[in-house]
Structure formats: structure tokens, C-alpha cells
Amino acid sequence: MLQVAHSAYPDIMVVTDFQPLGVIPDFWADVTLQALYLLAETRYAEATISMDELNIRGVIDDELGWQNRLDAVRKTLPTDLAVTTDTMLINNPVSVVTVCERAFKAFEPGPINFEESSTNFLGSAYPRLDRLVALANACKESRISITGHTDASGNEIRNQDLSLKRANAVADHIVNSGIDRSRLEVRGVGSTVAIADDSTRYGRSLNRRIEIVLVGENQETEAGQ
């Protein structure tokens, strides 16, 4: 599978994070390989595979190439596996900007979590960061603002330092994935911008977060946290 991924995406770093959450269908490997080839025909996309469906959402700029690849893939898949797609065609610079702004609004990477009192990511953070990188690659005029937050426990000077280090850890991962650092804005604000009650364990867990904002040419939209 890695060999296919490197072949389909020769110019980018390929990262895998395989975490089965239940029973894996017998056809999973074959369908995943075909999905990789389909995704290579897009500017930005994501795919989900279930027991009875392959769903692909994305942005394309070559409708004929996409359709030809889709038709070829359909012929190789199990007959009882439904293939659904939700794609948007872009073919001029104006539509690229519009599509990116829509994508920024819809993009929700999910929480980016760290080991306690550390700048090391939990495993769940990597696929979420990879979705951000994919969108940033598709929308090359965008900038990315990364803000680190902590809860209010401990010394605030240390909190400020930790929040900045965590934001920089996110920035380093994005840069190592091929995004130019000049597109990034990084800051740490410690515990000064709480979104939950810091007197409870649950509230503190919500306050320890990374906020990511994708900034397009015409607007600024919070993409996720």
C-alpha cells in the first residue's frame, strides 16, 4: 500500500496511521488501493470506507480524467459496494478562491491533542493534521494561523511557554509535510483565552487546545481546534 501511495503521490511525504476501530472488511485493502488512485485525481479530497460504501468528497480540476478513473475503479470493486462521490469542479482562478473559502468554512480537523505536559502529539492528531496539509496544498494562496492554549493550572509563564511550544510543534509538522513556513503564523497565549470552566477536569481538557485558522485571499475563517 505504501508503494502505491508513493507512486500516486511522488512529490509529497506519505504518512500512515492505521488504527482499526472494528471488524475490517475482507475487501478493505483492495478498495483502499483503488481509493488512493482516485484521490490522486483531485486537488483536495477525503475518502471513507465502510462495510457497504466507499465515499469520496473533494475538489477536481479535470472532470474527464476524474470520470475515467472513477469508471475504471468501479469495475474493480465488489458489486455490492456502493460508490458515492461529492466533488466540485474548478477550472479558473476565481472558482479556486471560492472553493477554498467554502472548504475553510466546512473544514473541521478535530482536536489536536498532546501527551500531558508535553509537546508530543497523541496518535489521533496525525490524520487530523494531514487533512489540514491536504487542504493547504490545494489552496496554495492561503495562510495558516496556529494558536496554542493551555488550562490555568500551574505557573502562567510556564503555560505561555508550553502553549507556544505546542503551536510550534504543529507548525513543524506542517512544514515537514511540505508547506512553506512563510505561510504560517504561530503564537501561544497560555491560559488567557479559556473556553470552558477551569475548575473542572473536563473544562481544563477543553482549554488545552490548538486553534487553527485558515486565511484565504478574501476572508478569515476559523477552521478548527
Query: Which domains can be identified in the chain, with CATH numbers?
Result: 2-91 (3.30.300), 101-224 (3.30.1330.60)
Confidence of residue 85 (pLDDT cuts 50, 70, 90): confident
pLDDT in tens, 16-68: 666 665 667 677 777 777 777 777 777 777 777 777 888 888 778 788 888 88
- The pLDDT tens digits for 88-103 are 777 665 566 677 777 7
pLDDT band at 79 (very low <50, low <70, confident <90, very high): confident
Better pLDDT: 180 or 1: 180
Cα distances (angstroms) measured from residue 89 to each of 7, 69, 72, 140, 157: 24, 15, 20, 17, 48
How does residue 189 score in pLDDT terms, banded at 50, 70 and 90? very high
Instruction: For 146-171, write each residue's pLDDT tens digit.
Output: 999 998 988 999 999 999 999 999 99
Cα(74)–Cα(202) distance, integer angstroms: 45
Vertex 150: Cα angle to 145 and 152 (nearest 5)? 145
Residue 146 confidence (pLDDT): 94
In terms of pLDDT, which residue wins out, 168 or 205? 168
Residues in contact with 29: Cβ distance below 8 Å, sequence separation at least 6, in sequence order:
1
Grid coordinates belonging to 190? 497560555
Residue 41: exposed, middle, or buried by beta-carbon count in 10 A (0-12, 13-18, 19+)? buried
Question: Mean pLDDT throughout 197-206?
Answer: 88
pLDDT at 188 over 80: yes
Q: Give the C-alpha distances (Å, rounded to integers) separating 16 from 22, 88, 123, 127, 224.
A: 18, 26, 11, 8, 22
Query: Percentage of residues in the chain with pLDDT exceeding 70?
Result: 80
Residue 56: which residues within 8 A CB-CB, separation 6 or more?
35, 38, 39, 45, 46, 47, 83, 84, 85, 86, 87
Band of pLDDT at residue 186, cut at 50, 70 and 90? very high
Q: Return d(Cα 224, Cα 129) in angstroms, integer.
A: 11
pLDDT confidence of residue 159: 93
Task: Identify which of 44, 40, 37, 41 has the alpha carbon closest to the alpha carbon of residue 58.
Answer: 44
139: left (phi over 0), alpha (psi -120 to 50) or beta: beta
- The answer to whether the CB of 27 falls within 8 A of the CB of 78 is yes
> Distance of CA 183 to CAs 123, 133, 142, Å?
25, 12, 7
CB 5 within 8 A of CB 36: yes
**Beta-carbon contacts of residue 159 (< 8 Å; ≥ 6 apart):** 150, 151, 152, 190, 191
- Whether 225 shows a pLDDT value over 50: the answer reads no
Distance CA 24, CA 153 (A): 42
Residue range 122-140: mean pLDDT, rounded: 82
Query: Span 196-225, mean pLDDT?
Result: 75
| pTM of the predicted structure, to 2 decimals | 0.59
Rounded to 10 deg, the angle between the 156-176 and 125-138 helix axes is 60
pLDDT interval class at 104 (50, 70, 90): confident
For residue 215, the model assigns a pLDDT of 79
**Cell (9 digits) for 60:** 477536481
